[in-house]
Structure 1
Amino acid sequence: MRYKLPVLPFLLAGCVLSSCQDHQLTAPIQPTVTTLVRGLVGPIGVETDASGRVFVSEQGTGNNDGRVSEIAPDGTIRPVVTGLYSFRRPDNELDATDHLLAADGMLYILNAKGLYTISLASINAGNASVAASSLTPENIQQFVIDYNFAQDTGESHLYNMTLGPDGALYFADAAANAVIRRSKTGQLSVVTAVPGIPNPTPVGPPVIQSVPTGITYDSRQFAMSTLLGFPFPAGKAMIYRMDLGGNTTVFQQTFNSLVDIENDGIGNYLVLEFGTFGAQGFTPKTGRLLRAKGSSSDVILDNLNMPTDLKVADNHTAYLLSMGDGTLSKITF
């Protein structure tokens, strides 16, 4: 099953936010929310590097017009990589660019053509943008497609990624429903397949695929967010934990169509719900940002309209991306 997000606008509501990985945020009831950028075309991933620079990926319109841009503090957009593969399929969904990762001095870019890599040191105001045609993507997808899974979808969609403790990259594949490992020297392996769930509704297949959409590491274990396939039953999407051996356990199953996950710094997780699924598809303004605690969740932001990515940059700053509005918002505490 190929996983793509519909394009719809979003709304932010002020609340308490606490953070990810190496950061721990304490926010006032009403943090300052500023829209930094408007007019992004299909934005789906936001990332910051060690110096605090902000990067955003755009899927484009389907005419090989995807790009990755650096966003200046004043909201100025400076394209970094242009002309990334972007193709609109007959079902009107895009094969294009997904998430970003800044690690080990490199900016990693996931695209339907493969994994692009560009040196962070080469990205500066004095350099022109790089044409994607001058870069050679690493075709990890073919390895996944050729792999003989027990429940084989015959597809690959490398959607998100994180850096593991061994210096390897770990990918959430949202079409093969698996976690893929790429070693520091480029060797590929399948870490685990993400299990589906019995369909709790009378509509659709007997087993619903559990699509991994986000992956993070907290110095002890991985965690994955998932989005269930059709009919997208409410309250059934899961957070999985995974050890280095690929063994998975369910941390919590109470969510609606998760699209991102971050560590909160105290053993729990920040997760983004894309929204609830209704008769007309995903219902606008039903997305939420939650702190998942295992047996319960705190609502941090609600009334979000199809949010796609959250990035906590430091103890005082986070960024939230909307694919539908084409906006990047900065949240300051």
Structure 2
Amino acid sequence: MQKAHTSFALALSLFLAVSCTNNKDAEQIAPSLSAEASQSSKDGILTSELSKPIGMSIDQKNQIWVSQSGTGKNDGSVVVVTPNGRVQTAFTGFGSQVLPNNELGGLGHVLYQDGMLYVLDGLNGRLYIIDVSSYKAKDAPVPASSLNFIAIKPFVLSQNLSNPLDSNLYDLTFGPDGRLYIADAGANAIISVNLATKALSVFARIPNATPTIQAVPTGIIYDGSKFLVSTLTGFPFVTGLAKVLQISTSGVVSDYRSGFTALTNLAPAKGDDLLVTEYARFVFSPPVVGWQPSTGRVANAAGTTVLGGLNEITDIERINPNFYYVLSTAEGTIQKLKY
């Protein structure tokens, strides 16, 4: 069986090899964008200056906190994108390494809430907790070595959740109990973190997509009554096999929506609708073997394409009831979407 970490890391790194995580709770929606931000976003692109971005989260000033995976030299970073598209580095020196299989291990997603930034280091299995309430645009970058973190990987490995043992902390959300819930794409599980006591527990295990293909959880949100989790599925990334799963507050996992391909993230939409991001289509026939360029898309819960022709997208963030940001790791862009 293909390792969950390998299959998920492959999904995010094949493009890099060939060419060289989030505050989405339904009730936590940022204010409307300013006129300045709208005018600066030509053709819907807010910025194209990011470097291998993975996840994003928006604060009350409409600043976008973005994790970047780095180049494999422990140079992962978190940058801030202003409402008019300026990019500034806030934190540097997070884990980033080229793994023995030539994949890139690094940061997962970020989540902003109430002046605090939560950053997942998938490579080292850490949850960084950073007070950014006094952050200013011209502050010098802060090294990750000076930041507080909770070591989560040792706990995950001790639970014997995968064979071989693996952990790849990828996305996170707050639950109704104030705990953080982390989608671990290596262990194929959801990990609960009590921030008050630092206690860790296994909230749910994600079942395989088929007897031989792992589901690989990617995005996670809480919609007010249940958790929703997007799945990538492991190699060979079969078209139509990916699902959105629902998890009750007691940890019971069941299917919610199916028929998707290589899902990487999700966000709530009006009513009971949902938007999901498909990374790309994977094929084994020439001339391009692997992830096909510009085959990613944003789709709704019914599977209808909302925005197509995208290139390896890894995150979608709701910024108000009608607008979203979509993040492309291949293009280094944040694009505005109306739905």
Q: TM-score, normalised by structure 1?
A: 0.86
Q: How does 1:249-288 map to 2 (within 5 A)?
A: 249-279=254-284, 280-288=289-297
Q: By how many angstroms is 1:301 displaced? A: 0.8
Asked if residue 167 in structure 1 is aligned to residue 153 in structure 2, the reply is no
Pick closer, same or farther for the CA change 1:263–1:139 going to 2, 3 Å.
same
Q: Structure 2: how far apart are the matches of 1:99 and 1:290?
A: 21
More helix by share: 2
Asked if residue 303 in structure 1 is aligned to residue 309 in structure 2, the reply is yes
* Runs of 5+ unmatched residues, structure 1: 10-18, 25-30, 199-205
Asked if residue 6 in structure 1 is aligned to residue 13 in structure 2, the reply is yes
Asked if residue 132 in structure 1 is aligned to residue 138 in structure 2, the reply is no
Pick closer, same or farther for the CA change 1:330–1:108 going to 2, 3 Å.
same
Asked if residue 241 in structure 1 is aligned to residue 236 in structure 2, the reply is no
Count of aligned positions: 308
Q: By how many angstroms is 1:179 displaced? A: 0.4
Asked if residue 179 in structure 1 is aligned to residue 190 in structure 2, the reply is yes
3-state SS of the aligned residue for 1:165? coil
RMSD of Structure 2 on Structure 1 (CA): 2.2
Asked if residue 141 in structure 1 is aligned to residue 150 in structure 2, the reply is no
Aligned residue in 2 for 1:27: none
Is the Cα contact below 8 Å between 2:120 and 2:170 reproduced in 1? Answer: yes
3-state SS of the aligned residue for 1:145? helix
Which residue, 68, 71, 75 being the options, matches 2:85? 75
Identity %: 37
Is the Cα contact below 8 Å between 1:234 and 1:256 reproduced in 2? Answer: yes
Q: By how many angstroms is 1:37 displaced? A: 2.3
Which residue, 116, 122, 130 being the options, matches 2:128? 116
Q: Structure 2: how far apart are the matches of 1:189 and 1:311?
A: 27
Which residue, 182, 188, 204 being the options, matches 1:192? 204
Moved more, 43-52 or 215-224: 43-52
Q: By how many angstroms is 1:20 displaced? A: 7.2
1:248-290, CA deviations, whole angstroms, 9 ceiling, x for partnerless residues? 1101220101000112131232110111210111111111111
Q: TM-score, normalised by structure 2?
A: 0.85
Is the Cα contact below 8 Å between 1:20 and 1:269 reproduced in 2? Answer: no
Aligned residue in 2 for 1:85: 95
Which residue, 318, 321, 324 being the options, matches 1:318? 324
Moved more, 279-288 or 214-223: 279-288
Which residue, 61, 76, 92 being the options, matches 1:66? 76
Aligned residue in 2 for 1:51: 61
Q: By how many angstroms is 1:32 displaced? A: 6.7
The aligned amino acid for 1:225 is S
1:279-322, CA deviations, whole angstroms, 9 ceiling, x for partnerless residues? 11111111111111xxx322101111211111111235421111
Pick closer, same or farther for the CA change 1:104–1:153 going to 2, 3 Å.
farther
Larger relative CO (CA 8 A, sep 6+): 1 or 2?
1
The aligned amino acid for 1:33 is D
Q: How does 1:192-211 map to 2 (within 5 A)?
A: 192-198=204-210, 206-211=211-216
1:228-247, CA deviations, whole angstroms, 9 ceiling, x for partnerless residues? 11111111111110001110
Pick closer, same or farther for the CA change 1:164–1:33 going to 2, 3 Å.
farther
Asked if residue 158 in structure 1 is aligned to residue 165 in structure 2, the reply is no
Q: Structure 2: how far apart are the matches of 1:321 and 1:214?
A: 13
The aligned amino acid for 1:314 is N
Q: Structure 2: how far apart are the matches of 1:20 and 1:170?
A: 12
3-state SS of the aligned residue for 1:83? strand
1:184-227, CA deviations, whole angstroms, 9 ceiling, x for partnerless residues? 321100011100032xxxxxxx5210100010001100000001
